[in-house]
Amino acid sequence: MNSIQKNRLKDQLFKIWGIACTLFGLVLLTVFIGDILIDGIRRIDWAFITDLPSRKAEKSGIYTALMGSIWILILTTIISFPIGVAAGVYLEEYSKKNRLSALLEINISNLAGVPSIIYGLLGLEVFVRIMSLGASVLAGALTLSLLILPIIIVATREAIKAVPKSIRDASYALGASKWQTIWNQVLPASGGGILTGVILALSRAVGETAPLIVVGALAYVPFAPSNPMDEFSVLPIQIFNWISRPQHGFIENAAAAIIILLLITFVMNGIAVYFRNKWQKKWK
Amino acid sequence: MRKIKELVIEKSLLSSALVTIAVTFGIISVLAIEAFRFFSEVSIFDFFTDTQWTPLFTDKHYGILPLLSGTLLTSFIAISVALPVGLTISIYLSEYAPRSFRKTIKPLLELLAAVPTVVYGFFALIVVTPFLQQFIPGLSGFNSLSAGIVMGIMIIPFVSSISEDALHAVPKDLKEASYGMGATKLQTAFKVVVPAASSGIIVSIILAISRAIGETMIVAIAAGQQPRLTLDPTVPVETITAFIVQVSLGDVQHGSIEYRTIFAAGITLFVFTFLLNTLSYRIRKKYQEKYE
């Protein structure tokens, strides 16, 4: 075999290795999900969703945890959405190239890399203790809002960046002010992209466990929260609690609850991808 | 009137942006204050040299080394999985794969990163550990091996997507010059494209390491809760993050030394990830200038 053939062979071998690696993660994910479906699907029925937690595995349901997750989702959206989008708009449209903007930029990039559990420690000290909110849904939602803020800001900036300059120029030429241009032209034009980012960020918040454990969310709450100051549990914490119990029945419960959690996560991701595709077409 | 309105809006948008500065300031001061109180009771020398971490026992030792070794061990295993696989994927997708394949496979790979970490913890403990026990008889029910492997699978998309962006940004002329000399795709990829995109690839590796160090639920579920200074991947260990979870689950009184240990552990974690993130940011800024 001469060196040309050798090199071509190597090339082909790498191609096969490349396909194998690409499929490796996906195949494992499929195996995992298949395994979870086998373990948990029989456990899912209406009672599993509407029952309160119990010491007996077969009587336990996810009602309080699911309600806690929904409360967290709603409050986190209300808190993080306006602040994140406003900060993104400021950085993209108003901020001038100076030391403050450089500081904001490096700071946001750094915050995006801070481990989620550190946000938990921040929430524990500032919201739970100093602001004495206790281990409430509100304290949890505030903590998660800070956690996903950098994701929303980055997504907002990307979406606004993609709006062509001609649209702004046309608005200014008609005599619109800066804010009128942003509100009436730039934000509607970038709405799809912003929405994509916000939904992805929220889907991350729904799956977060560690910061809420640190803030003091409980594994067992007898009732679903009825106001923002109530104590709460969330689906991931309920799953974590069930995984750490030795009896087999709870493993089945954990698998069933994971199916529900994955369903929520994947549906949110699907919606986000849908918006992204729809919005990308607009500028092409 | 209009001018005042515009100014008010600009200032309120600015204040939203400043929230992010307040968050950083909050994190640093909270960690620093509680850690300072911790170190007024525990000598900083013991903290870095004592080989035992037993703050919840009666015989208390506060040596961070066992937690640090647990963290580094699980992260090392994760990176050993994610790095070769992730880099191969990025090279394959950017140099070999047809466009349509790339377009369908990328969102699917990103799904790997969207799965909540508690779910990965379940896989590691319930699926991967029993599977590995068939081949490694001495493997304990909690171990850093399966936690590390599963964590590696989770961070594959971090490595592959950032690296792929970097590979994609390499100007086409470079590749075409290489093909013109008769090089194969493989030779072009490793001798031309990868070196040209090296800074972007390094960024992806650093971010993956930082992600692995800060990962919590997988290790809290599957690696165990026994702080131990070891490099043996088959025995239970405890990471910094898993310790914080362990303490948070218990009933720890505010102001007690146990309460402060999680902040001392937290600031150690924060310093590590902060250094890694700052490093990656610097490299990224430099490399953006190169091609833009």
Q: Tens digits of per-residue pLDDT, A33-76?
A: 998 999 888 888 888 888 888 777 778 889 999 999 999 999 99
Chain B residue with CA closest to A89: the answer is B13
Q: A136 forms bridges with which residues in the sheet?
A: A231
Of A159, A230, A243, A254, which is closest to residue A201 (Cα–Cα)?
Answer: A159
Q: What is the pLDDT of residue B291?
A: 55
Q: What's the complex ipTM?
A: 0.92
CB contact under 8 A, B249 and A114: no
Q: What is the pLDDT of residue B292?
A: 46
Domain ranges of chain A: 3-43, 48-282
Among A121, A128, A276, which would you mutate to test the B interface (most chain B Cβ atoms within 10 Å of its Cβ)? A121
Whether residues B20 and A244 touch (CB distance < 8 A) is answered with no
From B13, B85, B119, residue closest to A90, measured CB to CB: B13
Structure tokens of A55? 């010491």
Residues 81-100 of B with CB under 8 A from A: 84-85, 88-89, 91-93, 96-97
Nearest residue on chain B to A17, alpha-carbon basis: B88
User: Is the CB of residue A191 less than 8 Å away from at least one CB of chain B?
Assistant: no
* Residues in A touching B23 (Cβ below 8 Å): 111, 122, 146, 149
pLDDT at A284 over 80: no
3-state secondary structure of A136: strand
State the pLDDT at residue B93: 92
The 10 Å Cβ neighbour count of residue B241 is 31
DSSP-derived 3-state class of residue B62: strand
> What is the per-residue pLDDT for B105?
87
A103-125: average pLDDT: 93
Q: Where are the alpha helices (DSSP H) in chain A?
A: 3-40, 46-50, 63-89, 99-112, 116-123, 137-161, 165-173, 178-181, 187-207, 210-215, 235-243, 248-282
Chain B residues whose CB is inside 8 A of the A36 CB are: 119, 122
- CATH 4.10.490.10 is held by the domain A48-282: no
Q: Does B17 touch chain A (CB under 8 A)?
A: yes
Residues A111-144: b if buried by 16+ CB within 10 A, e if exposed = bbbbbbbbbbbbbbbbbbeeeebebbbbbbbbbb
| A241 neighbourhood in chain B, CB within 8 Å | none
- The answer on pLDDT for A218 being more than 90 is no
Chain B environment of A220 (Cβ under 8 Å): none
Q: pLDDT of chain B along its 292 residues, tens only?
A: 778 888 999 999 999 999 999 999 999 999 999 999 999 988 888 888 888 888 888 788 888 999 999 999 999 999 999 999 999 999 999 989 888 888 888 888 888 888 999 999 999 999 999 999 999 888 898 999 999 999 999 999 989 988 998 898 888 888 899 999 988 888 999 999 999 888 889 999 999 999 999 999 999 999 988 888 888 898 999 999 999 999 998 877 888 888 899 999 999 999 999 999 999 988 888 776 555 4
Q: Using alpha carbons only, give the angle A168, A169, A174 rounded to the nearest 5 degrees.
A: 100
Residue with token string 């062509």:
A164
List B62's β-bridge partners, or say none: B53
Classify residue A51 by its DSSP letter.
P
**Cβ-defined contact of A115 to B118 (cutoff 8 Å):** no
pLDDT band of A282, cuts 50, 70, 90: low
Q: Is residue A261 scored above 70 in pLDDT?
A: yes
Torsion of CA A102, A105, A106, A108, to 10 degrees: 150
Give pLDDT tens digits for A180-198. Answer: 999 999 999 898 889 999 9
Taking CB atoms and an 8 Å limit, are A122 and B26 in contact across chains?
A: yes
Confidence of residue A3 (pLDDT cuts 50, 70, 90): confident
